[in-house]
Amino acid sequence: MSNEYDKKQWQDQILVKDAEVEKLKVKLDKARKRSARKAKTKLSRLHKDLSDLGEISDFEDEFGESVLDRLDKFGSAFYNSEKGNLSDALSFAQKRVLSAMTKKVKNLKNPKSATNETISSGNGFRKKYSSFSSSKTKAGSKKQYKPNVRDLYEDIPVEESKPSETYIPEYSPTRNKPFLRIVSNTD
């Protein structure tokens, strides 16, 4: 009887684990499809923008078409798990190329902000500065720290005294040859 009970309990545990694994697979599959859709729309938009601007290179054109084709067929543009996360649609290297394309489109659409970051104000343009201070400072531009405390010794007058000469005795013992004695212990 206990053998059948243990077998039944084991089967129930296996069914629960299988259900959890199945839920995880469904969740990862949804994430993979969502990532593929997102990558596909971003890549097609960038490819179209670069083509419209006439600044697309042969590499970018071929890259965009091949990655879009792989995303349509397989839902992912890479297979090797060492090159990226399996739940992502693009590998790390493909993401870098995509970000480079994004920067290129951004610079082509708005060339002013790429060359000189300025803010327009009422009376002209001024340079845009960050609210964060730079860690690099020019030599001497920073003032030395001076604590706002009273010096305890400022009230005491300084006495100027001449340094006293050191006294050197004139006595020098006469030099004799060294000698040895035998000391007896007689009490």
Question: Would you state the structure tokens that stand for residue 147, as one six-digit string?
Answer: 């604590």
- Predicted TM-score (pTM) of the model is 0.48
**What is the pLDDT at residue 121?**
47
Give per-residue pLDDT as tens, 122-159: 445 555 566 666 555 555 567 888 878 877 777 777 77
Please tell me the distance from the alpha carbon of residue 121 to that of residue 119, in angstroms, as a whole number.
6
Q: Along the 187 residues of the chain, how does pLDDT read in single tens digits?
A: 578 888 888 999 999 999 999 999 898 888 888 888 898 899 899 888 888 888 888 888 898 888 888 888 877 777 666 676 666 788 888 889 899 999 988 988 887 764 545 454 444 555 556 666 655 555 556 788 887 887 777 777 777 776 677 777 787 778 888 888 888 887 6
- HEC readout, the chain: CHHHHHHHHHHHHHHHHHHHHHHHHHHHHHHHHHHHHHHHHHHHHHHHHHHHHCCCCHHHHHHHHHHHHHHHHHCCCCCCHHHCCCCCCCCHHHHHHHHHHHHHHHHHHCHHHHHCCEEEECCEEEECCCCCCCCCCCCCCCCCCCCCCCCCCCCCCCCCCCCCCCCCCCCCCCCCCCCCCCCCCCC
**What is the pLDDT at residue 120?**
46
Q: Identify any residues that bridge with 125 across adjacent strands, giving them in sequence order.
A: 120
**What is the pLDDT at residue 18?**
94
